[in-house]
Amino acid sequence: MILVTGGAGYIGSYAVRCLRARGDEVVVLDDLSSGHREAVGDAELVVADVCDRDAVRDVFAKYPIESVCHFANLILIDESVREPEKYFKVNVSGGVNLLAAMRKHGIKNFIFSSSAAVYGSPESQPISESAPLRPINPYGLTKVVFETTIEYACRHWGLRAAALRYFNAAGAAPDGSIGERHEPESHVIPIALEVAAGKHESLHVFGSDYPTPDGTCRREFVHVDDIAEAHVLALDALKTRGGFRAYNIGAGIVLSVREVIKAVESVTGKLLPVEDSPRRPGDPPMLEADSTRIRKELGWESAFTDFSKIVETAWRWSQEPKF
């Protein structure tokens, strides 16, 4: 059985669905602080906080868990700048609770949802896994601290682990069954789609004076289905490989915020009113992935390579969200 923490959230729920589709038994631990009960599908759900040591221990005592995929983190960069303690508590201490329970029960397979935020704002792009880890916001710092904790556990008591450093997750299930729903929403595509649907008057572009060709931030995108698939491959690889390995996940789709807006306009057929706003603290100008390692070592490929197709899935979902 696989424990998926944060399995009621945007990316975790895709991983649950992917694992269930191939016949794995799954139990989800999620406090539903930003996740949705409906997103869990037919997997078992334990509503609990990953920081609650007793609740985490109970899950390991009750279920025959063999592997853990750990998604349950706080994810808002600007909030992490304002309230770093909250981020260290959930993203670091919560993870340590999990590792302690795993060690106690002799469970050694662990996949962690890391992030491009570990790299901070590197000058050299695309970014490979060997780039220095120099986060520029508390969110990214919690990812580095917890990756280091995992690496230590691998050396110290034989944990087998992979940290998947996603760049920007995007899109929804092509069949419209699950998709992204965050309150508040901080990701550019769903916000742009909300503007297209008339839910907001305009779209704020945070920073138009970055050292990039059009002055707005550039990001690399990857469809959530492809991220979920990477989890399955990484879990399978742990059967034959010990130690710790980090993998970047990006689909090779690199776009500026203005280019994202254009793509959303073309998919939705709406012109989006845009307001140039000040930069957000903690936002690096450019994040472009070198994902060679995961392609070569795990045979991962992105099925979604056309950005407009990704936006189409998200648009379909946003018009008829199921939760």
Which residues pair with residue 222 across a beta bridge?
169
Three-state SS at 276 = strand
Q: Which of 4, 43, 90, 289 binds ligand NAD (CB under 6 A)?
A: 90
Q: Which of 26, 68, 72, 253 binds ligand NAD (CB under 6 A)?
A: 72
Give me the least distance between CB of 56 and ligand NAD, in Å please.
9
Q: Which stretch binds ligand NAD (CB under 6 A): 30-38, 56-64, 152-160, 207-215?
A: 30-38
Helix ranges restricted to H, 222-279:
224-237, 257-268
Q: Which of 45, 75, 178, 294 binds ligand NAD (CB under 6 A)?
A: 75
Give me the least distance between CB of 256 and ligand NAD, in Å please.
17
Q: For helices 95-105 and 138-157, give the axis angle rounded to 10 degrees.
A: 10
Site for ligand NAD in 141-170 (CB under 6 A): 166, 168-169
Give me the least distance between CB of 113 and ligand NAD, in Å please.
4
User: Should residue 302 be labelled a site residue for ligand NAD when binding is judged by CB under 6 A?
Assistant: no
Task: Using alpha carbons, list the distances in angstroms from residue 123 to 30, 211, 284, 290.
Answer: 37, 11, 10, 14
CB 20 within 8 A of CB 64: no
Residue with smaller CB distance to ligand NAD, 203 or 249: 249
How far apart CA 35 and CA 181 sit, in angstroms, is 8
Q: Which stretch binds ligand NAD (CB under 6 A): 25-33, 128-136, 152-160, 212-220?
A: 25-33
139 assigned to active site:
yes
Q: Which amino acid is at 299?
A: G
E-assigned strand segments in the chain: 2-5, 26-30, 44-47, 67-70, 109-115, 160-166, 168-170, 203-206, 218-223, 244-249, 253-256, 274-277, 286-287
Q: For helices 53-62 and 95-105, give the axis angle rounded to 10 degrees.
A: 40
One symbol per residue from 3 to 22: x for binding ligand NAD (CB under 6 A), - otherwise; what is it?
---x-xxxxx----------
Q: Which stretch binds ligand NAD (CB under 6 A): 28-36, 61-69, 97-105, 288-296?
A: 28-36
How far apart CA 30 and CA 38 sit, in angstroms, is 12
User: Of these residues, 10, 119, 139, 166, which one is catalytic?
Assistant: 139
Determine the number of helices (DSSP H) and then strands (DSSP E) in the chain.
11, 13
User: Should residue 31 be labelled a site residue for ligand NAD when binding is judged by CB under 6 A?
Assistant: yes
Q: Which stretch binds ligand NAD (CB under 6 A): 47-55, 125-133, 190-198, 310-318?
A: 47-55
The residues annotated as belonging to the active site are 139
Residues that bind ligand NAD (CB under 6 A): 6, 8-12, 30-35, 49-51, 71-75, 90, 94, 113, 115, 166, 168-169, 182
